[in-house]
Amino acid sequence: MTRKKVLLSWSSGKDSAWTLHVLRQQGDCEIAGLITTINSAFDRVAMHSSRRQLVEMQAEAARLPLIAVPLPWPCSNTDYECAMKKVCDEAVAQGVTAIAFGDLFLQDIRAYRERQLQGTGLEPLFPVWQIPTDQLAQEMIRGGLKAKLVCIDPKKLGPEFAGRDFDEQLLRDLPGGIDPCGENGEFHSFVYAGPMFDREIPVIAGERMQRDGFWYADLLPDRAVLAADSR
C-alpha cells in the first residue's frame, strides 16, 4: 500500500502535537513537514503568539521540517487564503497528497478547511476528529504530553490560567462549561514535551500581558538549560 505524503497544520499547541503522535502511530503516512502561520509583525505564531524560535525548536524535536508561512498584520481572510494557496501549490509540486488538521469537533471549521482544499489535489485529514474531549485530554496527559496555556479568552477563563500547565490539576480547576481541550477558544497552548518529540523543550514563563482582548503568557527558551546541554 502506498503511504500518503502528508503535511500537518501546526499551531504549536496540544491538538496539533497529538495529531502528529496519532499519525505516527497509524503508520500509513509519511509526514513531510509542519505548516505554521507566522504573524510577520511580531514574528510569532498567529493566535497562539508562540515565539518563532520555540516553534523551530518543536520542529527540531519532532525531526521534521518547518514550513513557516508569513502573514501580514492585520491579516484579512483574503491574505490568509492567498498565502495558503501558495503553500498548497508548492506541496502538490513536491508530491504531497494530504494536509492533516488537529480539529476536534467544530463542524464549521472543518467545512472551511475542506472547501479551501477542494480542487488543490490535497486531501484534508482529521485524525483526532470527534474523540470526546474529556477522554482526549486525559489521554494526552497520561501519554506524556506537557503543555503550557499561552493564550486565554478572559470572557471564558480568568487571566490567572495563562502560563499554567495543561495537567490533571488544570482539568479539575476548569469552570463548568469550559471544554477540557479548549476547543471553543477558551485557551490555546504550547507543547514542550511529549511522545511526538525526541527531547523536552526547556521553556520558562515570562511576562503575562493583555493584548487584543486576550491574555497571553509569553514563553521564553530557558537559556540556562540550553547552555548546559550544549556543554
Report pLDDT digits (tens) over 35-91. Answer: 999 998 889 998 788 999 999 999 999 999 999 999 988 888 899 999 999 999 999
Half-sphere exposure of residue 146, counting CA atoms within 13 Å on the CB side? 11
Q: What is the CATH number of the domain that holds 165?
A: 3.40.50.620
Contact at 8 Å (CB) between 208 and 162? yes
The pTM assigned to this predicted structure is 0.94
Question: 38 — phi, psi (to 5°)?
Answer: -115, 125
The sign one gets for the Cα dihedral 73, 76, 81, 82 is negative
The sign one gets for the Cα dihedral 65, 21, 190, 147 is negative
> Could you list the residue range(s) of the whole structural domain that residue 113 is in?
4-230
The sign one gets for the Cα dihedral 210, 75, 156, 174 is negative
The pLDDT tens digits of the residues spanning 162-188 come to 999 999 999 999 999 999 999 999 999
User: How would you label 84-107 residue by residue, b for 16+ Cβ within 10 Å and e otherwise?
Assistant: beebbeebeeeebbbbbbbbbbee
* Percent of the chain topping pLDDT 70: 96
Work out how many domains the chain is built from and give that number: 1
